[in-house]
Amino acid sequence: MKITVIGSGYVGLVSGACLAELGNDVVCLDVDPRKIDILNNGGVPIYEPGLEEVIKSNVAAGRLRFTTDVAESVAHGLVQMIAVGTPSGEDGSADLQYVIAAARAIGRAMTEYKVIVDKSTVPVGTADKVKQAVQEELDKRGLDPRFSILNPGFSVVSNPEFLKEGAAIDDFNRPDRIVIGAEDEQAIRVMREMYAPFQRNHDRLMVMDIKSAELTKYAANAMLATRISFMNELANLAEKVGADIEHVRKGIGSDQRIGYHFLYAGCGYGGSCFPKDVRALKRTAEEYGLPLKVLQAVEDVNDAQKSVLLHKIIRRFGENLKGKHFALWGLAFKPGTDDIREATSRVVMEGLWSRGATVTAYDPAAMKETRHIYGERADLRYAENPKDALHEADALVIVTEWKAFKSPDFNVIKARLKQPVIFDGRNLFEPADIKALGIEYHGIGREG
C-alpha cells in the first residue's frame, strides 16, 4: 500500500518507519527542510531506541523516503496520515493549526480518492474540522468531492497512536489495540488492509465512531496520569503516617482489578503527552460546561510533586544553598528518551539555581537537549558518566530511573560525595539497605 505520513516528528517517523517495515511504500513529508536534510543524509532528528536501524534498513530497501514536496507526497499515498504536533495553547487546548494546515495542503493537491487519517493526538471534533478544511480547498478548485473515478473524494478517519517514548517501535509492532474511528465502509476497508499484518494472531482492531476514537486517546492518557498522581498523594501521606509506599503499592497492585501498571510513586510525570493531554481533555470538557474535577486534581498534584525533591533538599540543607553543589542523575522525563519537556529535572535544577546552588548532571540521552534548552551556564556542568557527576557534590539527586542508575557502586558514591546523602526521586533503592551502608537516604513515601 502507498502511504504518506505528514509530519516527521516522533509519531510520524515511528509510524512511517514501522509501516515501511511491513512492506508498504511510505513517503514522509515535513515542511522543515533541516529535518528532511538530516533524514536524507542518514541521520535521525529524534532519539528513540531502535528507530535509526529501522529507518536505515527501509530507506536502503526503497520502501521509505523523505521529502518537503507537498504535491509529490499527496499524489503518492492512498492513505494520508497526519502526524503533526498539537502543542498546548495558552488556555490548555490543543493547538490544531498544524493539523488544519496539513488538511488544507491535502485538499489543494489531491486529484483522486484519499483516506485522511488523524494520527496526531487531537480533541473530539477535530475530524469535522479536517473535513471542513479539505472541503473548502476542494470548493476553491471547483471540484465535487463525490466518490467517483473522475472526481476526487475523501474520507477522514481517527486512528490515535498509543506509543510510549522509549518503547515506541515495540508498541507499534505489538499493539494492545488498534483504534479506528470511521464512518464509511470504503475507509474501513482501507484501514483494515493497512493493519492486516497485526491481525494474524488475534483481532486487535476496534472500529468505532470517530468521536469515540478521538476521546479514547485522551481518556487513556488521563487514566494513566490519574494513577500516577493518586500514588504520589498516597506516598506523601505514607511519609506523614510512617508507612512505606512500596509496601502499599505491592499490597494494592496484587488486586487484579487494580494491577501494578503506572502504580509507582515518584517525583511527578512529564513529557509531551500526559501534561498536554490532561490539559486538553480538561479544556474540551470546559467547552461543554462540564469541568473535570478529578483531572484538575491530577494536574495540581503533579505540579506539586515535581517540587517534592527540592523541598526535601531544602529541609536537609536549608533555604540558602549558596556554595552547595549537587550531582543530578537523570534529565529526561523518563528513561529511554531524550525528551525533557515538562521534566521534573528542570524544576529541581531551576529551584537549586535560584537558591544559589550549582549542579553537575548526567543523563545517557538527554544532555544534548538540555544544552539546547539552557545553553552554557556557570551553575550547570555535564559529566561524562554517573561517577564523574558525584565529584565534590554535597548530595546525589536521582530524577530519572535509567537502568544504569539502579545498581551503582555505593562505595564510590560515598567516596566521591562530600557527605553521603542520596535523594531518590524514583525509589530505586531499599532505604534500610542504603542506610546500613552509612548513607543518608531520602526516598518518596518511604520516610516516617
Residues noted as catalytic: 273
- Residue that is written with C-alpha cell 546525589 in the block: 396
Q: Which residues pair with 174 in a beta bridge?
A: none
Backbone angles phi, psi at 49, to 5 degrees: -55, 130
Residue 241: burial class (beta carbons within 10 Å; 0-12, 13-18, 19+): exposed
Tell me how far apart the alpha carbons of residues 250 and 448 are, in angstroms, rounded to a whole number. Answer: 19
The candidate with the shortest Cα–Cα distance to 57, out of 93, 22, 10, 106, is 22
Residues 6+ apart with CB under 8 A from 26: 3, 4, 5, 16, 17, 19, 20, 58, 63, 64, 65, 77
Tell me how far apart the alpha carbons of residues 49 and 161 are, in angstroms, rounded to a whole number. Answer: 18
The candidate with the shortest Cα–Cα distance to 329, out of 397, 391, 268, 428, is 397
Q: Residue 212 corresponds to which cell in the numbers above?
A: 469515540
The SS3 of residue 363 is coil
Q: Residue 297 corresponds to which cell in the numbers above?
A: 486534581
- Residue that is written with C-alpha cell 476496534 in the block: 206
Residues 6+ apart with CB under 8 A from 343: 270, 271, 331, 332, 333, 366, 399, 400
The candidate with the shortest Cα–Cα distance to 79, out of 180, 203, 201, 148, is 180
Tell me how far apart the alpha carbons of residues 188 and 155 are, in angstroms, rounded to a whole number. Answer: 10
- The letter for the amino acid at 106 is I
Q: Are 307 and 377 in contact (CB under 8 A)?
A: no
